[in-house]
Structure 1
Amino acid sequence: MTSTTLWRPTGPAELELVRATGMRRWPPRRPDQPIFYPVLNEDYAVKIARDWNVPHSGVGYVTRFQVRTAFLDRYEVRQVGGQTILEYWIPAEELEQFNDNLVGEIEVVHEFR
């Protein structure tokens, strides 16, 4: 089984929901969040956590996790800015399937205040 490493910048509220799952699942999206956006590189995740999450909520985290590559193959990689600004767009209604394809735990790899 091959897996792909992804990152997600997150704030304290979302991280608490992840911790409540034993660091094994992402929480369901709110009605105003139709898409779950994991990113493909750490530098991009750091930029969002540091430059957006910190001013917005006082702290920003970068998480790292593995997803089965065969599952991700059904999604297109989206370039949403510069050459390294890459994301997957997972529809909210497919997040449970995404969670079922996580390999191991979600790890916090950076914290910014």
Structure 2
Amino acid sequence: MTDLKTLTLWRPCGPAELALVRESGWAAWPPRLPDQPIFYPVLNEDYAVKIARDWNAPRDGVGYVTRFEVDGAFVERYPVQQVGGSTILELWVPAEDLGDFNRHINGPIEVVGEYRAETP
């Protein structure tokens, strides 16, 4: 549940990233890889589902949707990016800010959806 002090975000991910979140005790996102300069959580569940189902699952065999709360005042420093239609909204967190971002997560990161690749 979101209160006025936190913002609910979603993150679609594959099994490798989810395993690292699990290893953190469901408390932090792993550092970005060298070819990943941005961590981009999304602002609505429907968009996260679309990415997990249509991109992560076909690529990795399974895609997950996670949900978590972040300190609202902290995330105001990252402007909302509209990367498609009116509901295709992301925050772009530079990789070098991810440690600080993780320290502002309020509560556990939760898996709220799982999507398996369709088999022929």
Shorter-chain TM band: over 0.9
CA distance in 2, matches of 1:76, 1:54: 28
Q: Residue 30 of structure 2 aligns with which residue?
A: 27
Could you list the runs of 5+ residues in structure 1 that have no partner in the other structure? none
The yes-or-no answer on 1:89 pairing with 2:92 is yes
TM-score (ref. length: structure 1): 0.99
Q: Residue 65 of structure 2 aligns with which residue?
A: 62
Percent identity over paired residues: 69
Moved over 6 A (4+): none
CA distance in 2, matches of 1:54, 1:99: 25
The offset of 1:35, in angstroms, is 0.2
Which residue type is aligned with residue 100 of structure 2? Q
CA distance in 2, matches of 1:49, 1:26: 16
Q: Residue 10 of structure 1 aligns with which residue?
A: 13
CA distance in 1, matches of 2:61, 2:76: 35
CA distance in 2, matches of 1:57, 1:41: 22
Q: Residue 37 of structure 1 aligns with which residue?
A: 40
CA distance in 2, matches of 1:42, 1:71: 21
Could you list the runs of 5+ residues in structure 2 that have no partner in the other structure? none
CA distance in 1, matches of 2:96, 2:82: 22
The offset of 1:29, in angstroms, is 0.3
Number of equivalenced pairs: 113
